[in-house]
Amino acid sequence: MALLQISEPGMATAPHQHRLAVGIDLGTTNSLVATVRNAVAETLPDQDGQHLLPSVVQYKKDGVTVGQAASEAAREDPLNTLSSVKRLIGRSVDDLKLVAGHLPWKFAGTNSAVPRIKTIAGEVTPIETSAEILKVLKQRAEETLGGELSGVVITVPAYFDEAQRQATKDAATLADLNVYRLLNEPTAAAIAYGLDQGREGVIAVYDLGGGTFDISILRLNKGVFEVLATGGDSALGGDDFDQAIAQWILTESGTEAAADDYCFMRGLMQLARDSKEKLTESETASIDLVLPDGSSWQGELSRDQFDQLIEAFVKNTILASRRALRDAGVKKEDVLEVIMVGGSTRVPLVREKVAEFFGREPHVEIDPDKVVAIGAALQADVLAGNKPDDETLLLDVIPLSLGIETMGGLVEKIITRNTTIPVARAQEFTTHKDGQSAIAIHVLQGERELVDDSRSLARFELRGIPPMVAGAPRIEVKFQVDADGLLNVSAEETSSGVQASVEVKPSYGLSDEEIEAMLRASMDHATEDMQARALREQEVEAYRVIEALDAAMEADADDLLNEEEKQAILTARDHLQELVCEHSEMNAIKAAIKNLEKASESYVARRMNLSVKQAMTGHKVDEFEKL
Amino acid sequence: MSVDLNSNFFELFSLPAGFEIDNSALSESYRVLQREFHPDRFANADSTSRRQAMQMSAHINEAFETLKNPLLLSRYLLELQGISMNQETDTTSDAGFLMQQMEFREQMDDVENQPDPLEAADQLRDAVQSENASLLQQFRSEYEQNNYDAARQTWLKLQFYDRLLEQLSLLEARLEDELLN
């Protein structure tokens, strides 16, 4: 029921209420949560004052540890301590084999499309691990803000495909979070700098984190953020700078032989990190190294020397930036703004080279570790309805084309990349044999022409096609991509009106059943609690529906409905209210909501048409001809 | 249920139906409508309203895409006159035109062998685009003279140029990659 509330000037449908909403930067190395308080967006610290939560989860026999403590346990308990799972999320078992050499964990042989890692607490998926991180951030936010969160905005890399986005959203579902929107990380950074309000043009977002480098070229045009190109290096970051310094110290101090000593190396890496940070402000860093034998070594690293150590890494990021610009089809001179994201952009040489390459000073005013979370918080605040006068609208595009497999292993594109979302496309299919009752469809993502070069997203079967001669059935399959970039498929046989059933088997993500099972498993509560929760959710939904309907009917029921229609809707409405008041069984309420939806279907359509006209003219409803 | 919109794309954007589109008026109407119906505006609404908003927003996007793109626009104009086309099976039978298409394709295949392939690709693109533009002009005058059968034939030809330009883009991307590596 689209009781799309037609808000007339000066006639708010409900009194304004402030909703708690946060933005979450679910990062490869660290994660953050931020919110808007007193009109200021800020990240929220934990009880120890730490804003950054290391994205590390340690599984134990009797629970999980997330964050710094887990990070410190990584050495002693590598098999049960999972880090950088963002690299695995939304990936298939086959994908992992390509990177498995670097992964210390044991993977379970499984029928599921999602890889499962064996831990002491049982098999876990990257989705569940991400959910553990989200749960900690949720709890931090709710304790700090003193209430339940209405919704969150979670950021994802611009290059994330449908499967990776879906997996991220699934993780949020497991963490019991209501996702307002998945937002591209570079877009979030641009919002943090208020660029969505300002000039139109090309924006470059240079994101150098601990272990990854991403460059994104965006075009902002009247509130539409188009991702023109992305690039980078998934194995390049500040950790490489630390390594380079540590290697330098080993060579200079003549202690290469101690490189196998774990405790020594751990101290050395910390020393390297400290020196790097020191060199952000100072021209030199003095180094005081205690050797394994107890003796000590003193040295000094100058900024010039440090610059030489990391020059090659920085150069690679510039090369990747150049390539991204070319992919985007824009020149350096076209770039209006450059934004720095990620802790490693504090390094002076990085800033210098970026400024030199783009021919302009990059934005560094906002803490580069926090800028993405802050942008997400600002967007969450708008979506929560806390800024009712905010007229800005953020339109995203689909980053990769969606297509289906056709004869000969070729991909036919259904929705091409950079199409503004949400988008729906219908495609007609037919049968090849007489009496054929099912058709298999394979959905792929990517720009390549061959199925083998594309990412498989899902396979599904259309069943229940009425028996006809070959080529006679006309099956319309609708591909719908929502504002988060997530795909939904439905199908109908149009000549007979038979709704063909669609069974989607995700190639990477979890099926609805799997999510449900995980939700059950992750609940500490008894089953009754869960049912009570589900019932409460249905009741809340029912109230929302009734409230929206009442507001709508009060506004224009007399204009849009005849007496008979009105009665039919009211009967369904009253029935629903009765059930809710009696705390009836969940499924009964669900059915009553559906029933009311059906009863008010055409009313909703009429209102929708009216509101289109109204939006276009700015006139009031009653100025239009009565229907 | 799907969103029922009686208005056609032109009515949706409050624009006069026709080949000539006032692009700034189109963009402005588009933004007004999306501000009203984009799912972000319903982030806190009940799930059915959210779904409806998504359908409506997708519908607005489709209408916008159609009116912005000359090939889609010209097909839509024909559809409004009750003339539909099956892209899979309908094709032109104009032998002269098909011959010209084959020549274009041969030129495309030959681009790689030119001394400066990227320059050759640019030249070919210019030639194709100029043919495409004059064909669009032809479509327009046929359409405006209510000569829909002729317009339909012209549209079937326009399709060829669309594919040709798409393949040229792919070729250019490949040539650029090869030059860089």
**Cα of B61 to nearest chain A Cα, Å:** 7
Under an 8 A CB cutoff, do A2 and B49 touch?
yes
Extract the tokens encoding A71.
């990070």
Let me know the angle formed at the C-alpha of B36 by B33 and B37, rounded to the nearest 5 degrees. 85
Residues of A in contact with B38 (CB under 8 A): 393, 395, 483
> A503 or A322: which carries more pLDDT confidence?
A322
Under an 8 A CB cutoff, do B52 and A612 touch?
no
Residues of B in contact with A326 (CB under 8 A): 176
Max Cα-Cα span within chain B: 62
Q: What's residue A506's pLDDT?
A: 61
Residue A623 — pLDDT band, cuts 50, 70, 90?
A: very low
Taking the Cβ of residue A616 and every Cβ of chain B, the question of whether any pair is shorter than 8 Å is answered with yes
> Distance between alpha carbon A306 and the CA centroid of its chain, in Å?
36
Residue A232 — pLDDT band, cuts 50, 70, 90?
A: confident
Under an 8 A CB cutoff, do B52 and A2 touch?
yes
Q: In what order do the strands lie in the sheet with A201-208?
A: A224-233, A213-221, A201-208, A335-341
Taking the Cβ of residue B125 and every Cβ of chain A, the question of whether any pair is shorter than 8 Å is answered with no
Q: How far apart are CA A430 and CA A432, in angstroms?
A: 7
Q: How far apart are CA A259 and CA A562, in angstroms?
A: 84
Q: Is the pLDDT of residue A526 over 60?
A: no
Under an 8 A CB cutoff, do A424 and B62 touch?
yes
**Cα of B179 to nearest chain A Cα, Å:** 13
Strands (E), A333-454: 335-341, 402-406, 410-415, 423-429, 439-445
Q: How far apart are CA A335 and CA A365, in angstroms?
A: 19
Q: Is the pLDDT of residue A509 over 80?
A: no
For A573-586, b where at least 16 C-beta lie within 10 A, e where not — what string?
A: bebbbebbeeebeb
Q: What's residue A350's pLDDT?
A: 97
Taking the Cβ of residue B29 and every Cβ of chain A, the question of whether any pair is shorter than 8 Å is answered with yes
Q: Is the pLDDT of residue A183 over 90?
A: yes
| Lowest mean pLDDT, pick from A55-69, A242-256, A557-571, B85-99 | B85-99
Residue with tokens 């003796």: A295
Q: What's residue A4's pLDDT?
A: 45
Q: What's residue A2's pLDDT?
A: 39
**Cα of A541 to nearest chain B Cα, Å:** 6
Q: What's residue A441's pLDDT?
A: 85
Q: Is the pLDDT of residue A499 over 80?
A: no
Q: In what order do the strands lie in the sheet with A56-60?
A: A63-66, A56-60, A81-83
**Cα of B100 to nearest chain A Cα, Å:** 26
Q: Tell me the per-residue pLDDT of B109-122, one tens digit each, with 9 for 90 and over.
A: 999 888 888 889 88
| Lowest mean pLDDT, pick from A195-199, A417-421, A479-483, A524-528 | A524-528
The whole-number average pLDDT for the span A446-461 is 82
Q: Is the pLDDT of residue B9 over 80?
A: yes
Residues of A in contact with B49 (CB under 8 A): 1-4, 548
Q: Tell me the per-residue pLDDT of A87-107, one tens digit each, with 9 for 90 and over.
A: 888 887 777 666 545 667 787
Residue B180 — pLDDT band, cuts 50, 70, 90?
A: low
Residues of B in contact with A615 (CB under 8 A): 32-33, 35-37
Q: Is the pLDDT of residue B146 over 90?
A: yes
The whole-number average pLDDT for the span A33-37 is 96
**Cα of A142 to nearest chain B Cα, Å:** 18
Q: Is the pLDDT of residue A48 over 80?
A: yes
Extract the tokens encoding A211.
């272990």
Extract the tokens encoding A599.
């009863």
Under an 8 A CB cutoff, do B40 and A384 touch?
no
Q: Which of B8, B15, B32, B46 is the best residue to mutate to test the A interface, defined by the most A CB atoms within 10 Å of its own CB?
A: B46
Q: Determine the residue type at A551.
A: A
Q: In what order do the strands lie in the sheet with A423-429?
A: A423-429, A475-481, A487-493
B95-180 and B9-68 share a CATH fold? no
CA distances from B147 to A45, A341, B144 (A): 70, 58, 7
The whole-number average pLDDT for the span A491-505 is 67
The whole-number average pLDDT for the span A581-610 is 85
Residues of A identified as active-site? 25, 86, 185, 207
Percent of chain A with pLDDT over 90: 40
> Distance between alpha carbon A75 and the CA centroid of its chain, in Å?
30
- Is the CB of residue A95 less than 8 Å from the CB of residue A84? no
Residues of A in contact with B63 (CB under 8 A): none
The whole-number average pLDDT for the span A284-309 is 91
> A129 or A263: which carries more pLDDT confidence?
A129
Residue A521 — pLDDT band, cuts 50, 70, 90?
A: low
CA distances from B82 to A476, B85, B148 (A): 20, 10, 10
Q: Is the pLDDT of residue B83 over 60?
A: yes
Extract the tokens encoding A79.
């098999």
ipTM of the complex: 0.82
Residues of A in contact with B62 (CB under 8 A): 423-424
For residue A490, list its beta bridge partners.
A478
Residue A13 — pLDDT band, cuts 50, 70, 90?
A: very low
- When the pLDDT of each residue in chain B is averaged and rounded to a whole number, the result is 86
Under an 8 A CB cutoff, do A545 and B53 touch?
no
Q: What's residue A284's pLDDT?
A: 94
Q: Which of A149, A420, A486 is the best residue to mutate to test the B interface, defined by the most B CB atoms within 10 Å of its own CB?
A: A420
| Lowest mean pLDDT, pick from A167-176, A254-263, B140-149 | A254-263
The whole-number average pLDDT for the span A326-333 is 85
Identify whether A104 is preceded by a cis peptide bond (ω within 30 of 0). Answer: no
DSSP string, A147-199: S---EEEEEE-TT--HHHHHHHHHHHHHTT--EEEEEEHHHHHHHHTTGGGS-
Residues of B in contact with A12 (CB under 8 A): none
CA nearest to B51 within chain A: A2
Under an 8 A CB cutoff, do A480 and B58 touch?
yes
- Is the CB of residue A397 less than 8 Å from the CB of residue A418? yes
Q: Is the pLDDT of residue A303 over 90?
A: yes
Residues of A in contact with B55 (CB under 8 A): 2, 422, 424, 480
Q: Which of B40, B69, B174 is the best residue to mutate to test the A interface, defined by the most A CB atoms within 10 Å of its own CB?
A: B40
Extract the tokens encoding B174.
């490949």
Residue B31 — pLDDT band, cuts 50, 70, 90?
A: confident
Q: Is the pLDDT of residue A51 over 90?
A: yes
Q: How far apart are CA A108 and CA A168, in angstroms?
A: 21
Determine the 3-state secondary structure of A385 from DSSP.
coil
| Contacts (Cβ under 8 Å, ≥6 apart) of A9 | none
Q: What's residue A468's pLDDT?
A: 85
The whole-number average pLDDT for the span B133-158 is 93
Q: Tell me the per-residue pLDDT of A535-587, one tens digit each, with 9 for 90 and over.
A: 777 887 888 788 888 888 888 888 888 999 999 999 999 999 888 888 888 88
- Is the CB of residue B37 less than 8 Å from the CB of residue B54? no
- Is the CB of residue A609 less than 8 Å from the CB of residue A598? no
Taking the Cβ of residue B61 and every Cβ of chain A, the question of whether any pair is shorter than 8 Å is answered with yes
Q: Tell me the per-residue pLDDT of A343-354, one tens digit each, with 9 for 90 and over.
A: 999 999 999 999
Residues of B in contact with A383 (CB under 8 A): 40, 43-44
Residue A58 — pLDDT band, cuts 50, 70, 90?
A: very high
The whole-number average pLDDT for the span A39-47 is 95
Residue B103 — pLDDT band, cuts 50, 70, 90?
A: very high
Q: Is the pLDDT of residue A522 over 60?
A: no
Name which of A2, A151, A615 is nearest B36 (Cβ-Cβ): A615
Q: Is the pLDDT of residue A20 over 90?
A: yes
- Rounded to the nearest 5°, which phi and psi values hold at B46? -70, 160
Q: What's residue A12's pLDDT?
A: 41
Residue B5 — pLDDT band, cuts 50, 70, 90?
A: low
Taking the Cβ of residue A597 and every Cβ of chain B, the question of whether any pair is shorter than 8 Å is answered with yes
Q: What's residue A135's pLDDT?
A: 97
Under an 8 A CB cutoff, do A545 and B46 touch?
yes
Extract the tokens encoding A81.
């301590």
- The kind and range of the H/E element at A520 are helix A512-522
Q: How far apart are CA B142 and CA B149, in angstroms?
A: 9
Long-range contacts of A580-589 (CB under 8 A, 24+ apart): A580/A539, A580/A542, A580/A543, A580/A546, A583/A535, A583/A539, A585/A535, A586/A531, A586/A534, A586/A535, A586/A538, A589/A535, A589/A538, A589/A539, A589/A542
Residue A429 — pLDDT band, cuts 50, 70, 90?
A: confident
Under an 8 A CB cutoff, do B48 and A545 touch?
yes
Taking the Cβ of residue A2 and every Cβ of chain B, the question of whether any pair is shorter than 8 Å is answered with yes
- Is the CB of residue B62 less than 8 Å from the CB of residue A480? no
Say which CATH superfamily domain B9-68 falls into: DnaJ domain (1.10.287.110)
How many residues in total does chain A contain?
627
> Using H for helix, E for strand and C for coil, what is the string for A426-446?
EEEECCCCCCCCCEEEEEEEC
The whole-number average pLDDT for the span A447-464 is 82
**Cα of A615 to nearest chain B Cα, Å:** 6
Q: With a CB-CB cutoff of 8 Å, which residues 535-554 of chain A face chain B?
A: 541, 544-545, 548
For B150-167, b where at least 16 C-beta lie within 10 A, e where not — what string?
A: ebbbbbbbbbbbeebeee
Residues of A in contact with B31 (CB under 8 A): 222-223, 393
Q: What's residue B88's pLDDT?
A: 61
Q: Which of A445, A417, A517, A449 is nearest to A127 (CA)?
A: A517
- Is the CB of residue A391 less than 8 Å from the CB of residue A372? no
CA nearest to B12 within chain A: A612
The whole-number average pLDDT for the span A490-509 is 66
Extract the tokens encoding A76.
């002693």
Q: Which CATH architecture has domain B95-180?
A: Up-down Bundle (1.20)
Q: Is the pLDDT of residue A54 over 90?
A: yes
**Cα of A592 to nearest chain B Cα, Å:** 14
**Cα of A480 to nearest chain B Cα, Å:** 8
CA nearest to B3 within chain A: A605
Q: Is the pLDDT of residue A530 over 70?
A: no
User: What are the boundaries of each domain within chain B?
Assistant: 9-68, 95-180
The whole-number average pLDDT for the span A492-505 is 66
CA nearest to B40 within chain A: A383
Q: What's residue B89's pLDDT?
A: 67
Q: How far apart are CA A524 and CA A231, in angstroms?
A: 42
Under an 8 A CB cutoff, do B40 and A151 touch?
no
